[in-house]
Chain A
């Protein structure tokens, strides 16, 4: 017998049946019936954000740190349009989200009604899939399909637009087991012949490298475990994109650090000089490749990815393997073992010799003045004082994000939440809220810049209301640091609009929200200040006043290949050619 209920009740029932425990959202006229049902139950907690963009980023933080889909509920019109940035962010970083937006009643659609927007039209290019549900009878099935699509294959955000009359009307509830998930069943198993071919290449390779990405983390903890096993057994060097940090432990001896535009010297040089590149769950993003026609010129390239469209999109690869990282790595390890665990020992020894020489360059060295806090020092101390905690890091976007990736060490997957593809300033604070909701006992730190922090600082109120002890670690250089750096390199040091004027007093700001804050300007006080931040039982803003003109190195200037890194300020004159200047 089918259960009859209102559409609004169906939404809540479907969320429960999907195992959802927390929803991030903001009510409004068209969403009132669903909000009424949320009021009438106690299983699902609702986190009231202060802006819908914050809800989506919070859900991303929740999803990225748990591996479960993040859930968002917003009203029609502005509620829905405010989710767009978060949706695009989640799409580019492959974060599973289920966003429900309310809509004006079906009979008003198309009349330019109050708070009406063509939400499915607006969000079509920034979701993996979206639905406008016009019949209550179909609502539950669509809800279950939405969770299926968001989490299967390459994960991503989906949106369900629910008109108000559909929420009020009564219909038959379809339980998850009876819901048709359709033909959308992405291939997870890799082609065995291709995997065997990869094993053959691995056996002979003189200068192999693993280049891993967010796909390893999205595939689940098992994939990270298999990756560790393969690296441990083969002794191949490994580097990773920003999104993949933590899949392999930073303390591992095969770890070369992050690669790419602000990646480590040894990682980029090894990518440039390798003869076998094994890309696992990464997508040859332009932050990684630098100049495409000079990218790793002498290597055979294998690419493991669940999304066929990632293959040969930017870089032509010799050996594509479509499948889920976990499944493919399992087969890879099994076949490699069965064939006798062979590697090219002499080749590898020479290769590691080269890599060790690159490591000696010690590309992250920086001066340590006594009168001013270098941003690198701030992060080095943060790392030293928090590494033994159950720690989750979120970041905003800019120089501080790159320094965090260079100076913080991630030992486990799902520990770094950052906006990689879209580069969304304002991501980190709400993301830290989502992470703390999922991990109430953990130490959750948002490494921020003062400019990014201000883009969603209203969410401090959310943190205070829900007693989420998130730590805002602001590297305050009173500049839009990365913009300033590019103006340094490209525009003759003309710093157009890239300084932070009329900054708030972040300590008073924290107090105004009912949180605690502290300003630190002297390197000698840094440890004490970080200690106070960690020990404080509640949300905390640590305003770290840092060197104002520090640039982030190493840097592959736009339009240059991996072996043309800038290592410091003295080498930056005319570093970017006219063709590179048009790149982003």
Chain B
């Protein structure tokens, strides 16, 4: 049914076409929200999620157009299909929101996250950490005689896996950016 138009830029293939919104299967969705980069816009988006009881699994935000003052907010959220539809519609109501894209519904998307992981240790553990970092294509961006800081980029699952491996090898601290995502293909 094409009657429900959310906000311009949103997919014509809305979730209404794809599945029954009344099913209760909880799934994860990656949303890209293009907003005016004005004071308080992030608070509006976050306030919407907290005020209406929606989940935020990950959130990243940065200005992507410095002359037009547009920011891209990437939100990974989860919920049953009806809730996901409601989240998109509610986001669309926010006045400085220009576009809401559900990358999960619109088609294949590339999702990447960057993490910095500090590992301290000596001897065999230190060697093992370095070897695993190589397998995961993580770069050492800081090193002392007792520690490394690795930079790793990938899907959240890859970063989880790497962090899990580093834990017994002396993981001290981890900083993650949250997911940035872009749809595949020319458009």
Contacts and interface: CB of A to CB of B under 8 A. Distances in A.
A550 B93 CA distance: 42
B2 A312 contact: no
A316 B43 contact: no
Interface string A403-426: 000000000000000000000000
Contact of B3 (A129, A132, A184, A320): A320
Interface stretch (B81-89, B132-140, B142-150): B81-89
A202 B37 CA distance: 46
Interface residues of A, number: 27
Contact of A321 (B3, B44, B89, B94): B3
Given A124-B43, A316-B22, A308 B2 contact: no
Contacts of A121: 40, 43
A308 B3 contact: no
A479 interface: no
Given A120-B40, A183-B98, A309-B92, A319 B47 contact: no
B39 A132 contact: yes
Contacts of B86: 309, 312-313
A129 B97 CA distance: 11
A183 B70 CA distance: 13
A191 B5 contact: yes
Residue of B1, B51, B95 with most chain A CB atoms under a 10 A cut-off: B95
A128 B5 CA distance: 20
Contacts of A40: none
A308 B40 contact: no
B175 interface: no
Nearest to B92: A308
A307 interface: yes
A137 to B, nearest CB: 16
A194 B3 CA distance: 6
Given A308-B89, A316-B21, A193 B3 contact: yes
B22 A308 contact: no
Contacts of A182: 36, 95
B82 A307 contact: no
Contacts of A191: 2-3, 5
A60 to B, nearest CB: 20
B4 interface: yes
Nearest to B36: A182
B51 A316 contact: no
Contact of A322 (B4, B44, B47, B51): B4
B5 A322 contact: yes
A278 to B, nearest CB: 14
Nearest to B81: A312
B54 to A, nearest CB: 12
A313 to B, nearest CB: 6
B6 interface: yes
A322 B95 contact: no
B51 A125 contact: yes
B51 A319 contact: no
Nearest to B4: A320
A193 B43 CA distance: 38
Contacts of B177: none
A129 B95 CA distance: 7
Interface string A301-313: 0000001110111
Interface of A: 120-121, 124-125, 128-129, 132, 149, 182-184, 187, 190-191, 193-194, 307-309, 311-313, 316, 319-322
Identify the 9 closest CB pairs spanning chains A and B, nearest first.
Answer: A194-B3, A309-B89, A129-B95, A191-B3, A320-B4, A308-B89, A309-B90, A320-B3, A321-B3
29 contacts: A121-B43, A124-B40, A124-B44, A125-B51, A128-B95, A129-B94, A132-B39, A190-B3, A191-B3, A193-B2, A194-B1, A194-B2, A194-B3, A307-B89, A308-B5, A308-B89, A308-B92, A308-B93, A309-B86, A309-B89, A309-B92, A311-B4, A312-B85, A312-B86, A316-B22, A320-B3, A321-B3, A322-B3, A322-B4
Interface of B: 1-7, 21-22, 36, 39-40, 43-44, 47, 51, 82, 85-86, 89-90, 92-96, 98
Given A191-B2, A311-B4, 9 more contacts: A121-B40, A124-B40, A124-B47, A132-B39, A132-B40, A149-B95, A312-B86, A320-B3, A322-B4
